[in-house]
Amino acid sequence: EFKTNSLLSKGFFDPVTLQDFPIRGQQVYLHVKRRRWLNQDTGKVVYRDWNLVAKGTRVTSDFAAFLKGISG
């Protein structure tokens, strides 16, 4: 997405903790940090938009859409 731009690392956003499905009866927590970048060409801070998890669910948006499709 930003291959042609000159980017400079500008730290991280606050970490987000996600609870995943248990593995062999163990609780799994994922701690995700997103990096911020300064686009030196435009002077704006850029970052990836991670809309992977459907609101109100613990599954990906694609899987939630699949489940919604087969339920009706």
pLDDT of residue 55: 61
- Residue identified by tokens 């609870």 is 19
As separate numbers, helices (DSSP H) first and strands (DSSP E) second, the chain gives 1, 5
Domain that holds residue 18: 7-71
The reply to whether 1 falls in a domain is no
What is the β-pairing status of strands 35-39 and 7-12?
Answer: antiparallel
β-bridge mates for residue 28, sequence order: 20
pLDDT of residue 50: 65
Q: How many domains does the chain have?
A: 1
SS3 65: helix
The reply to whether 2 falls in a domain is no
pLDDT of residue 38: 95
The reply to whether 26 falls in a domain is yes
pLDDT of residue 56: 61
pLDDT (tens digit per residue) in 20-67: 766 677 778 888 888 999 999 999 998 876 665 556 656 667 777 777
pLDDT of residue 32: 83
The reply to whether 67 falls in a domain is yes
Is the pTM higher than 0.95? no
